[in-house]
Amino acid sequence: MSHLITDAATFAADAIDGFVAANKRYARRVDGGVVRSTVMPEGQVALVVGGGSGHYPAFAGVVGPGLAAGAVCGNIFASPATGQVYRVAKAVERGAGILLSYGNYAGDRLQFGQAEERLRGEGYDVRTVAVTDDIASAPAAERERRRGIAGDLTVFKVAGAAAEAGMNLDEVERLAILANDRTRSIGVAFSGCTIPGAESPLFTVEPGTMAIGLGIHGEPGLEDVPAPTARGLAEILASRLLAELPDGVEQAAGSRAVVLLNGLGTFKYEELFTVFGAVSAELEAAGVDILDSECGELVTSLDMSGVSLTLLWVTDELAELWAAPADSAAFRKGAITAMIDENISSVADATATRVLESATPAQQAAATAALRLLRVTHDTIIDNAEEFGRIDAIAGDGDHGIGMSRGVVGALAAGERVVSEGGGVVRLLAESGEAWSEHGGGTSGALWGMALASAGTSLAASGAADENSDDTIAAASGAAAIAAAVAAGLVGMQRLGKAEVGDKTLIDAYAPFAAKLTSGVAAGNTLADAWVAAAAVSQAAASATAELKPGLGRARTHVARSLGHPDAGAISFARIVMAVGDALQAH
Domain assignment present for residue 497? The answer is yes
Whether 120 is in a domain gets the answer yes
The backbone region for 566, taken as left when phi is positive above 0, alpha when psi lies in -120 to 50, beta otherwise, is: beta
Same domain, 66 and 179: yes
- List C-alpha distances in Å: 207 to 217, 228, 274: 21, 12, 21
The alpha carbon torsion through 348, 351, 352, 357 (nearest 10 deg) reads -110
Per-residue pLDDT tens listing for the chain (587 residues): 666 777 777 888 999 999 999 999 999 999 999 999 999 999 999 999 999 999 999 999 999 999 999 999 998 888 999 999 999 999 999 999 999 999 999 889 999 998 999 899 999 999 999 999 999 999 999 999 999 999 999 999 999 999 999 999 999 999 999 999 999 999 999 998 888 877 788 788 999 999 999 888 877 788 899 999 999 999 999 999 999 999 999 999 999 999 999 999 999 999 999 999 999 999 999 999 999 999 999 999 999 999 999 999 999 999 999 999 999 999 999 887 777 777 655 444 444 445 566 789 989 999 999 999 999 999 999 999 989 988 988 867 677 888 899 999 999 999 999 999 999 999 999 999 999 998 888 889 999 999 999 999 898 887 755 554 444 444 434 899 999 999 999 999 998 888 999 999 999 999 999 999 999 999 999 999 999 999 999 999 999 999 998 876 655 555 667 788 999 999 999 999 999 999 999 97
The residue from 333, 353, 385 where one domain ends is: 333
Query: Are the CB atoms for 578 and 541 separated by under 8 Å?
Result: no
CA distance 552 to 447: 14
Query: Does one domain contain both 27 and 65?
Result: yes
Catalytic pick among 217, 400, 439, 565: 217
* CA atoms lying within 13 Å on the CB side of residue 550: 25
What pTM did the predictor assign? Answer: 0.82
Cα→Cα distances 161→45, 108, 128, 252, 324, Å: 11, 23, 17, 26, 6
User: Are 412 and 541 members of one domain?
Assistant: yes
Residue-range definition of the domain harbouring residue 41 = 11-333
Q: Of 122, 105, 12, nearest to 439 (Cα)?
A: 12
Task: Give me the phi and psi of 224, to 5 degrees please.
Answer: -110, 135
Exposure of 207 in the CB half-sphere (CA atoms within 13 A) = 0
Q: What is the CATH number of the domain that holds 536?
A: 1.25.40.340
Q: Per the domain annotation, does 380 fall within a domain? A: yes
Q: Apex CA 273: angle with CA 326 and CA 328, to 5°?
A: 15
- Contact between residue 217 and residue 238 where contact means Cβ atoms under 8 Å apart: no
Check: CB of residue 170 under 8 Å from CB of residue 286.
no
- pLDDT, residue 559, reads 64
Domain assignment present for residue 480? The answer is yes
* 3-class DSSP state of 125: coil
Q: Could you tell me if 64 and 115 lie in one domain?
A: yes
Based on the domain organization, do 328 and 365 belong to the same domain? no
Query: Going edge to edge, which strands form the sheet with 70-76?
Result: 27-30, 33-36, 70-76, 46-53, 98-103, 126-131
Q: Are residues 311 and 388 in the same domain?
A: no
Residues 52 and 135 in one domain: yes
Residue 384, beta-bridge partner list: none
The span from the CA of 311 to the CA of 436, in Å, is 38
The answer to the question of residue 342 being in a domain is no
Give the residue from 333, 352, 380 where a domain finishes. Answer: 333
Classify strands 223-226 and 289-296 as parallel, antiparallel or unpaired.
unpaired
CA-CA distance, 90 to 72, in Å (whole number)?
12
Domain count across the chain: 2
Contact 119, 89 (CB under 8 A): yes
Complete DSSP assignment for 240-287: HHHTSPPTT---STT-EEEEEEEE-BSS-HHHHHHHHHHHHHHHHHTT
Same-domain status, 256 and 188: yes
Whichever domain contains 137, its CATH number is 3.40.50.10440
Residues 328 and 366 in one domain: no
- Per the DSSP assignment, residues forming a β-bridge with 187 are 308
Q: Inter-axis angle of helices 169-181 and 316-323, to 10 degrees?
A: 100
d(CA 563, CA 462): 42
Measured distance CA(453)–CA(425) in Å, rounded: 11
Residue 70 counted as domain residue: yes
Q: Report, in this order, helix, strand and coil percent for the chain, each rounded to 5.
A: 50, 15, 35
In a domain, residue 522? The reply is yes
CA distance linking residue 259 with residue 247, whole number of Å: 18
Considering the domain architecture, whether residues 390 and 291 belong to the same structural domain is answered as no
3-state secondary structure 448-477: HHHHHHHHHHHHHHHCHHHCCCCCCHHHHH
- Are 137 and 255 in a shared domain? yes
Terminal-residue alpha carbon distance, the chain: 44
* β-strands 98-103, 126-131 pairing: parallel
Is residue 353 in some structural domain?
no
- Rounded-to-integer distance, Cα 77 and Cα 54, Å: 6
Query: Which one-letter amino acid corresponds to residue 266?
Result: T
Cα four-point dihedral sign 53, 56, 62, 64 = positive
Within this chain, do residues 259 and 199 fall inside the same structural domain, yes or no?
yes
Say if CB 34 and CB 27 are below 8 A apart.
yes
What does the pLDDT read at residue 468? Answer: 46
Of 333, 349, 372, which residue is a domain's last? 333
Helix (H, G, I), strand (E, B) or coil at 133: coil
Is 55 in the active site? no
One-letter amino acid for residue 448 of the chain: W
SS3 377: helix
